Amino acid sequence: MLGRYITLIFLLFCSSTWAFELLVIQGISRSGQTFITRVGKKNGVFVGKRSTFTADNVSIIAKAISVTREFTQWEILNNFTEVPFRKGQIVTYYNTTEYLWALAPENIKAKLIKSELWSPRKSVAVHSAFVRGVSESVSGVESESIERGGLQLEVYLETEFNRNFAVGYGIRYTNEVINVGEASLSTTRFLGILEGRYYFSPLRFFFGARPSFGLGVAYGQSFTDATGLTSAGTAVILPITKLGIHLPLTKITEFSFETAFESLEVTEKFETGDKQVTNINNFKIGIAIKRFF
């Protein structure tokens, strides 16, 4: 009995998978009302035949108006102003018009193909953020109430390896004001950054936005200026932990919201030759504009 159930489930799965076929949009008419696919009479298509096509979060029903042995010109029957596909896009072809509302073949397509006419991209992004110190400890100095905050500007060059993984190379300028008791100090840092990033699948219910998670390191120079006393040295960030959400504005532009938590170690020498090590935990929130090329 158990074997029969397993066989039945297997057959149902296979029939649902084989019912779908992946096709490439060969062309779209200037009017935007018809499109061409490489499926024709040899595949059982005839003039007047109606079929379902899906991609991403849209499904349409189209009628064959011109059929050759290998190609078919389809006319959409849904109330669209134009074909909701682009030339070269892979769509899911379902050889029926039944149960259009219940179809979710994009999930099946994701299992059948690893990429969809997609190649890794490069981008440049400009980031700005407000930084707030969470905690701080200074070598040779007793703990005291310290307020630290400032602004950051970053420029990144990002290279994608696939749909999910990317690496970013950047430079950062930071200006922070430190309030210690009656005194006020100003710190400036210039850092080089390396980040690995993972992009999750787009959120269809939220404008196609992509959440991301990043881990990175940074190294550079730090300069602190107090009244009549200056110090300089190196700054290391390990790690940079970042969360972001990226909203597509156009096909080549994204707008991002980001938050990050960073652990810094700053080693500076004063003019007197004394050395001071400062460990800082910072939280930041910011925005960015990214452009692909």
Of 154, 242, 232, 166, which is closest to residue 199 (Cα–Cα)?
Answer: 166
Of 279, 246, 266, 265, which is closest to residue 156 (Cα–Cα)?
Answer: 246
pLDDT given at position 22: 85
pLDDT given at position 6: 43
What tens-digit pLDDT sequence spans the chain (293 residues)? 545 544 433 333 344 434 578 889 999 988 888 999 999 998 889 999 988 888 766 778 889 999 999 999 999 886 556 788 888 888 888 876 654 444 455 555 555 554 445 678 899 999 999 999 998 888 866 666 678 899 999 999 999 998 899 999 999 999 999 887 777 889 999 999 999 999 998 887 888 899 999 999 999 999 998 777 889 999 999 999 999 999 999 889 999 999 999 999 999 998 877 888 999 999 999 999 999 98
Structure tokens at 209: 């936005």
pLDDT given at position 155: 98
pLDDT given at position 55: 79
Instruction: Summarize the chain as % helix, strand, coil (round to 5).
Output: 10, 60, 25
pLDDT given at position 19: 56
pLDDT given at position 108: 52
Prediction pTM value: 0.63
pLDDT given at position 52: 86
Beta strand ranges found along 139-274 (DSSP E): 146-160, 165-180, 183-199, 210-226, 229-250, 253-270
Task: State the Cα–Cα distance between residues 267 and 234, nearest whole angstrom.
Answer: 5
Task: State the Cα–Cα distance between residues 153 and 7, nearest whole angstrom.
Answer: 60
Check: CB of residue 121 under 8 Å from CB of residue 160. yes
**Domains detected in the chain:** 18-112 (2.40.10.340), 122-292 (2.40.160.20)
pLDDT given at position 110: 54
Backbone dihedral region for residue 207 (phi beyond 0: left; psi -120 to 50: alpha; all else: beta): left
CB atoms within 10 A of CB 97: 14
Residue 218's identity, in one-letter code, is: A
For residue 14, the SS3 value is helix
Question: What are the CA-CA distances from residue 29 to residues 34, 66, 83, 87, 92 (Å)?
Answer: 6, 13, 9, 10, 20
Residue carrying the six token digits 């390990």: 238
Element (H, E) at 276: strand 275-292
